[in-house]
Structure 1
Amino acid sequence: MDGLDEIDDRIAAEAFRRLARHLRHRSDAQNIDLMGLAGFCRNCLGDWVAEAGGMPKEQAREAVYGMPPAEWKARHGGEATPEQLARMAASMAKNAA
């Protein structure tokens, strides 16, 4: 059994909420950079919530962002550079492995 499965759901839920709030606070951490480093971003986290709970994807993403994703992007987003896109592609390739 994976040790993660031994974590009480209440504790896991609190850790998830802390992660989501941390990502809300760190608007300087762009999704493209998260994807390039870790192979996931705010959208992915929202999608995982949707998949786990049967929630509509847009509702789950809004819960993670704390606002509609388009609004977050308008406030905090920027254009991805070719270097960021290349890092993201290399990182995403690791996810399939």
Structure 2
Amino acid sequence: MDKQTQTELEAATFRRLLKHLDERKDVQNIDLMILAGFCRNCLGKWYKAAADERDIELDAEQARDIVYGMPYAEWKANHQQEATPEQLAAFAKLQNK
């Protein structure tokens, strides 16, 4: 596989991941962190880091908005739920490993 094709497939896969996360707003970031070790905010940070590596001007909020498909404050107000004690305990357990 040539590099261009690989890059195109990776980009398509990333777009599909964002679409999937958008369709699953019920999945909370803390759940993603507990199960996978990353969340939507991590994706935003990685997106920003990739822009920085290429000297592309993009701030952290813009990158996060790309991942969320809307301003983060809007997503948080409409979709983020308060973490349960069980979620917080599971997350804390991971932090102590």
TM-score greater than 0.5 by the shorter chain:
yes
State the number of aligned residues: 89
Q: Could you state the TM-score of these two structures normalised by the residue count of structure 1?
A: 0.82
Q: Which residue matches 1:59? A: 62
Q: 2:73 aligns with which of 45, 70, 73?
A: 70
Relative contact order higher in (CA < 8 Å, ≥ 6 apart): 1
> In the alignment, residue 70 of structure 2 is paired with which amino acid?
M
What stretches of structure 2 of length at least 5 have no aligned partner?
53-57
Q: Could you state the TM-score of these two structures normalised by the residue count of structure 2?
A: 0.82
CA deviation after TM superposition for structure 1 residue 93, in Å? 5.3
Q: Any residues of structure 2 matched to 1:7-26 within 5 Å, and which?
A: 8-26=6-24
Does residue 76 of structure 2 align to residue 40 of structure 1? no
What stretches of structure 1 of length at least 5 have no aligned partner?
none
CA deviation after TM superposition for structure 1 residue 92, in Å? 4.7
> In the alignment, residue 26 of structure 1 is paired with which amino acid?
R
Distance (Å, rounded) in 1 between the aligned partners of 2:95 and 2:49: 19
Alignment root-mean-square deviation, CA: 1.9
Distance (Å, rounded) in 1 between the aligned partners of 2:17 and 2:10: 11
Q: Which residue matches 1:83? A: 86
Q: Quick one: percent identity of the two aligned structures?
A: 58
Distance 1:41 1:79, change over 3 A: same
CA deviation after TM superposition for structure 1 residue 91, in Å? 3.5
